[in-house]
Amino acid sequence: MAIPVVDPDRYGEQLADKRAYVERLFASFEPPKLEVFASPPSHYRQRCEFRIWHEGDDLFYAMFEVPPGDPKRKRVIRLDQFPVASESINQLMPALRAAFLASDELRRRLFQVEFLTTLSGEALVTLIYHRPLGDAWEAEARALEAELGIMIIGRSRKQRLVLTRDHVWERLQVEGRTLHYQQVENSFTQPNAHICQAMLGWASDVTAGRQQEDLVELYCGNGNFTIALAENFRRVLATEISRTSVASANVNLEANGVTNARVARMSAEDFAQALKGDKTGRRVAEMGLESYDFSTVLVDPPRAGLDQQSCRQLSEYAHIVYISCNPVTLAENLAQLTHTHDIVRFALFDQFPFTDHCECGVWLRRR
């Protein structure tokens, strides 16, 4: 794994390379013109994690470069600043390091530091230790919270000390609206908030005007897309397997005044079975699936994409919005989905500049 080398002057060049790669990969599908959404060329990640490397009386933030095919030869890379990370993270890095160096209580057996920041200015820092944390640590950590204007969580084996709260509140601007999102420590959130806004705006645009129809959403996380798209539909039913994400999604629905959406804790596979007629179980009965008129499905699967059965299930919907973090598995899935659907809109979201990763969005309409 290589650490991204940020060079803002070359950002246009790297984005052009990604565009060319995506256009080549999907050329056989003859998609419409690719819509490209650029990231800020630096300071685009709102969350990062670093190992803390101790050398004598010194310590510093570290990442590792691992040669392909030889993981035992990983190289420690010292990071005093990290241009990939948000400006808030870069401001906090030296201030926190100075605090660790000045306090044996804060530095002793400190193993890792995780940052979660927002465009709206909040910062949550998790300090992970290889030792139990006691009253002395808590007193110094609370003083550090006050000094830096941040929130701190302390973690060690079987221990989690939340000093203020375990989440931040992000505010995203989507098509003239301000959307509020609770983002919980140690759970998944979109790391590039600027691109997240672009993704939500694009998905909202392609699904506009379906207020007489219903949306079903798989892998909904903390309700990221659910919140943004709810006003486009009569009702939304979203599913997610993570208990933490479901709880956060419900908080976010309430925070945004969304009353026409429901989040069910269920795997995408179990939900597919329920849609096919397996109505056993209390959770399925409570959904009232027979009352929905699903015209559109939104899916944002893991990197592995969807299996053949899931693709068959998706092909039953009139409209498919597919958000993908892996163009290769997206192409494999589209080879099946395009037997029944046409690609109407196609987008590239540069979620991770200066890496090979590409995030894509596809809107398909049944023929």
Q: What DSSP state is assigned to residue 130?
A: S
Cα separation, 142 vs 198, whole angstroms: 37
Longest dimension (CA), the chain: 67
Helix locations, the chain, DSSP H = 11-25, 87-102, 104-107, 135-148, 193-206, 224-229, 243-255, 268-275, 282-287, 308-314, 327-337
Q: What DSSP state is assigned to residue 103?
A: -
Catalytic hit among 196, 220, 325, 360? 325
Cα separation, 144 vs 343, whole angstroms: 52
Q: Which residues of 126-146 are buried (b: 16+ CB within 10 A; e: fewer)?
A: bbbbeeebeeebeebbeebee
Catalytic hit among 122, 311, 359, 360? 359
- Phi/psi for 240 (5° steps) reads -160, 140
Annotated binding site for S-adenosyl-L-methionine: 190, 219, 224, 240, 300
To the query of whether residue 325 is one of the catalytic residues in this protein, the response is yes
Q: Residues 79, 62: contact at Cβ < 8 Å? A: yes
To the query of whether residue 23 is one of the catalytic residues in this protein, the response is no
What's the alpha-carbon Rg for the chain, to the nearest Å? 22
Residue 185, both tokens: 């420590």
- Which are the catalytic amino acids? 325, 359
